[in-house]
Amino acid sequence: MCEFKDSGLGSPHVFSMILHVMTAIEVPIHLFGAFVILFRTPAKMTSVKWSMFVLHFWSSLLDITICFLVIPYTVFPVAGGIPLGVLSLLNVHPMVQASILIITGGLTGISILAFFENRCNSMKYGPYAQSKKTRALRYLYLAVNYLLAFGFMVPIYLQLPTKAEGEKYAMRVLPCLPSQVYQNEKFFVASTNVTFIFSIVGGLTVFVTAQILYLVIYSVIELRNRTKKLSRVTSTLQKRFSIALYIQVAIPMIAYLFPMFYVFSTWTFDILSQTCNNLVFICIALHGLLSTLTMIAVHKPYRETLKLLMPTCEKIRKRSKVSGVKDLQLSAIV
């Protein structure tokens, strides 16, 4: 049954307002996150500094793209919608905006992959003990994955329907869709072949997720083998550091993957819920925010920097000095 409701959270105005508020909240937090990574990362975390910064950059850019630049008012199960962001005010073509959004999402996923790949190799070879051949193979591996984030849009461009074809397709699939939506000058449809879109986007998502899961499992096994050769205190500190890194990525990944599963389900079962469609991008836009907040929460140097900006945390800061000896021990093993 097709029933379109654009009231409440399903309204484009409410949707835009929520994302604008999120932009105002997220930008200062993302800037602070970039600052602490670049200027407050201690020597003991050098091996993960730049992979962490790349991940933070793409996660933050994805948030800004959704909340400010594009604001995608989509009408799943049709692979299309109306962009409401600042790029529309600049008369950027809707399909170009869609490409920017999708590619940024893909690069965010690849940066998560690169983060774990860097961690695995640091544990296996050490941050500075890799041969030139090993380093070259790593760069080639990452380059192929980054190119996929750009290249998978090419087949979609080659089958891009005209605006008239997109409108006819939207009316056929969603007969309840009001004319002010599909006749909007900014309305676009990326493809009239749902199977094709599902295969392209779903294939990349599964491919990248499978690699991430492999790297996580491998790093856990490598950590277990490594800690067997260390003292109890040292192995405990090593495990804590690794768990902190996994939590930093795992929490925002959940906020990223569940909306994607919903999108795939709309294509599979022809589900239309404009409220859920808007919630998809609100949840994805929270991905970078959760990533930054989790990063600050799980790494003590970043927490301490935040506490310096909060005078009310003076007592907490004094208590945290008790654990300083353990941090010195950790610096010798990371």
Q: What is the pLDDT of residue 230?
A: 65
Asked, as a colleague might, if the bond just before 259 is cis with ω within 30 of 0, I would say no
The pTM assigned to this predicted structure is: 0.86
Answer whether residue 231 is part of any domain. Answer: yes
Q: What is the pLDDT of residue 327?
A: 47
Six-digit token string for 55: 């991940």
Structure-derived torsion over alpha carbons of residues 323, 326, 332, 334, reported in degrees to the nearest 10: -80
Give the sign of the dihedral formed by CA 33, CA 38, CA 43, CA 47. positive
Q: What is the pLDDT of residue 334?
A: 45
Answer whether residue 36 is part of any domain. Answer: yes
Q: What is the pLDDT of residue 312?
A: 55
Instruction: Characterise 91 by phi-psi region: left (phi > 0), alpha (psi -120 to 50), beta (else).
Output: left
Name the residue among 215, 216, 282, 208 with its Cα closest to residue 247: 216
* Lowest-pLDDT range of 96-100, 109-113, 124-128, 293-297: 124-128
Answer whether residue 236 is part of any domain. Answer: yes
Q: What is the pLDDT of residues 262-319, one digit of tens each?
A: 988 888 888 889 999 999 999 999 888 988 998 898 888 898 898 888 765 555 555 5
Query: How many other CB atoms are there within 10 angstroms of residue 167's CB atom?
Result: 21
Q: What is the pLDDT of residues 315-334, one digit of tens each?
A: 555 555 544 444 444 444 44
Give the sign of the dihedral formed by CA 203, CA 214, CA 51, CA 302. positive
Q: What is the pLDDT of residue 258?
A: 84
Q: What is the pLDDT of residue 73?
A: 96
* Lowest-pLDDT range of 65-79, 171-185, 239-253, 300-314: 239-253
Answer whether residue 1 is part of any domain. Answer: no
Six-digit token string for 254: 């959940």
Q: In what order do the strands lie in the sheet with 80-83?
A: 72-74, 80-83, 188-189
- Return the higher-pLDDT residue of 267 and 251: 267
Answer whether residue 2 is part of any domain. Answer: no
Containing structural domain, residue 199: 8-330
Six-digit token string for 195: 């199977």
| One-letter identity of residue 1 | M
Name the residue among 64, 100, 77 with its Cα closest to residue 287: 64
Kindly report the CATH number assigned to the domain that includes residue 239: 1.20.1070.10
* pLDDT interval class at 72 (50, 70, 90): very high
Q: What is the pLDDT of residues 159-192, one digit of tens each?
A: 899 999 999 999 999 998 898 898 899 999 999 9
Answer whether residue 3 is part of any domain. Answer: no
Answer whether residue 178 is part of any domain. Answer: yes
Please give the distance of CA 17 from its chain centroid, rounded to a whole number.
22
Count of domains forming the chain: 1
CA 149 to CA 200: how far, in whole Å?
11
Q: What is the pLDDT of residue 318?
A: 54
